[in-house]
A and B are shown apart, each in its own frame.
Chain A
Amino acid sequence: MTPANAMKLNAVALYAISAVLLVAFYFQFALGELPCPLCLLQRVAFTALAVGPILTLRHGPRPGQYGLIVLAALLGAAIASRQVLLHIMPGDAGYGSALLGYHFYTWAFFGFVAAIAASTAMLLFQSQFEGDAPRPRPFETAAVWLIFAVTLANAASALLECGFAWCPDTPVHYELLYKPA
């Protein structure tokens, strides 16, 4: 695999992370499902996943950058698995709606495991670490700015939901928009 192809795949990974966060936004704003603290933390972990690919696009592929993805994915998988275990008892309805039969925290767990598997598979292609990496193309630069914008939008959304305090365990309204009767 050439450095250029590795960079393209890292850009695709950034688009995939942005897509995950945008789908979560759709369910939050279009369907009115407020994310819980653990849900927000899983979104945070998805943004942490993006740092390795951005380093790859800017400085060329390095093995350590895939290591950063694995570390971020382990953190995300730990958070998602805790939420899965909180709702694993028979009769528990789970938190939020389901997509294709699984709740979002279950999908998040699958996503983090997939990130670990993909990073490990990428490490098998030694040739991407040899030779000079090309400058990032518009397709790759756009991926970086998209995930950066989505991360800032998540910061604003979380502030709107939680206000200037710890996020409530079970959020029912946006703290900064709420006016008690």
Chain B
Amino acid sequence: MDSSIAFLIFAATMWAAWRRDPRVAVFLLALGMLFSLAIYLHHATDVLPLSF
């Protein structure tokens, strides 16, 4: 679900870039990148069993 939300934020960003004020698009882009960074940090603590 986390990735779906990130995709939807960037879809909204694209919509804003095409139809709205560029400042709204830049704000949404920053929001999406921060959200993606949070997902990245969440998965950085995953336990990864070695495959060798």
B residues within 8 Å of A by Cβ?
A: 1-4, 6-8, 10-11, 13-15, 17-18, 22, 25-26, 29, 32-33, 36-37, 39-40, 42-44, 46-48, 50-52
A57 to B7 alpha-carbon distance, docked (Å) = 21
Q: Is the CB of B15 within 8 A of A148?
A: yes
Q: Is the CB of A54 within 8 A of B18?
A: yes
Q: Which residues of chain B have C-beta atoms less than 8 A from A12's C-beta?
A: none
Q: Is the CB of B10 within 8 A of A75?
A: no
Known interface pairs A89-B52, A155-B4. Does A75 touch B37 (Cβ–Cβ under 8 Å)? yes
Q: Which residues of chain B have C-beta atoms less than 8 A from A144's C-beta?
A: 14, 18
Q: How large is the interface on A (under 10, 10 to 19, 20 to 34, 35 or more residues)?
A: 35 or more
A47 to B50 alpha-carbon distance, docked (Å) = 31
How near does chain B come to A166, taking the closest CB pair, in angstroms?
A: 6
Which of A79, A159, A165 meets B40, CB within 8 Å?
Answer: A79
Which of B1, B17, B36, B44 meets A58, CB within 8 Å?
Answer: B17
Task: Give the most central of B6, B7, B44: most A CB within 10 Å.
Answer: B7
